[in-house]
Structure 1
Amino acid sequence: MDLENFKNKARSEYANHKKLKGRLRKIKPKVLDQKFSEAHDEQFEKMDCLECANCCKTTSPIFIQTDIDRLAKVFRMKSSEFIDTYLHRDEEGDFVLNSSPCPFLGEDNKCFVYESRPKACREYPHTNRKNIHGILNLTLKNTMICPAVHEIFQVFLKDFRK
């Protein structure tokens, strides 16, 4: 996966994707959820996240308390020690990683804590969940991070023309 090429492509398509987001808002919620779910399945049949891992290299998931407690246990730490070692609060007050790439990402793009990974990682890129309407802003942002989400929007550009 050529991530530099992807970043350039994603930047150049962002304005089109932003316009598409406006058109997607007009689609009935259940229909939109179904379209995204189908597109998600189709894209992830073709894509191997281990070839990319751009999400793990460039962004941080939000860590909820159950994630912190679970991972602290994995590292045999107190939850407060895990927070002090790996996390800080962002401008919204959420716990996020201190640095990118994720400290749990291996050279082979495999996650050291995969079985215990945060909920946000388990659900990423959120394109196969209910109420896509509620997260369209996040989904648009993810077109800049995840090649699969970018491709979903590229397909939708053709499917949902004016």
Structure 2
Amino acid sequence: MSDLLNNWEKKSKDRQKIYRQFLEKAQKPAVRNEILDRLPDLHEEAFQKVDCLKCANCCKNYSPRFKTPDIKRIARHLKLKESELIETYLRLDEDGDYVVRSTPCPFLGADNFCSIYEVRPSDCERFPYTDEDVLVRRAALTQKNSTFCPIVYFVLERLIKT
């Protein structure tokens, strides 16, 4: 693993103010466009260095939003009624979004593989958003994600250092 990723959780916690300042600057169109141009390569590099199956922090500690198309697709895959899927696995959060009832995610196996990977929620498919504008557009989310996802931490560090 890269030296950058050694002790990344502590480093990320210590650098939250720096991330906030960086992401505030990233709201300027010229800076944002430069960052967005760099994201695909940094995203690829991060995924080459981090094995999500060894981590799975996202699935162990947080929940994606389950949007209506996700619920329909997953229920069909599990051969459940949508209402059964909701009653069994989901709850409404404070924003009115469906999220998992408990963590870790009930679809996460002991081997960190997802039992519904092929039909997973779109939030899971897109996570950690390091190849899209969500990284700069939703700064608070990016900061939060940097505290539990080594890929977000890696991408932020590489963006800040250059």
For this structure pair, what is the TM-score category when the shorter chain's length is used for normalisation?
0.7 to 0.9
The answer to whether the Cα contact below 8 Å between 2:20 and 2:139 also exists between their aligned partners in 1 is no
Q: Unmatched 5+ residue regions in structure 1?
A: none
Taking only aligned residues, the RMSD between alpha carbons, in angstroms, comes to: 1.8
Q: Which runs of 5+ in 2 are unaligned?
A: 2-6
Q: Does 1:70 align with 2:94?
A: no
Asked if the contact 1:10–1:144 (Cα under 8 Å) also holds between the matched residues in 2, the reply is: yes
Shift of 1:84: 0.6
Q: Secondary structure at the match of 2:76?
A: helix
CA distance in 1, matches of 2:19, 2:55: 21
CA contact (8 A) 1:33 1:131 kept: no
Which of 25, 30, 38 is residue 23 of structure 1 equivalent to?
25
Quick check: 1:58–1:100 contact (8 Å CA) kept in 2?
Answer: yes
Aligned residues: 156
Q: Which moved more, 1:28-37 or 1:148-157?
A: 28-37
Give deviations 1:67-125, integer Å, cap 9, x for gaps. 11111112211001100111111111011111111011111111011101110000001
Which range is displaced more, 60-69 or 139-148?
139-148
CA distance in structure 2 between the aligned counterparts of 1:56 and 1:111, rounded to whole angstroms: 9
TM (norm. structure 1) is 0.88
Identify the residue that residue 51 of structure 2 maps to in structure 1: 48
Distance 2:18 2:133 in 1: 24
Whether the aligned pair in 2 keeps the contact of 1:56 and 1:102 (CA below 8 Å) is yes
Runs of 4+ in structure 1 off by over 4 angstroms are none
Specify the alignment match of 1:39 in structure 2: 42
Residue 55 of structure 1: SS of its match in structure 2? helix
* Identity percentage of aligned residues: 39
Other-structure match for 1:102? 105
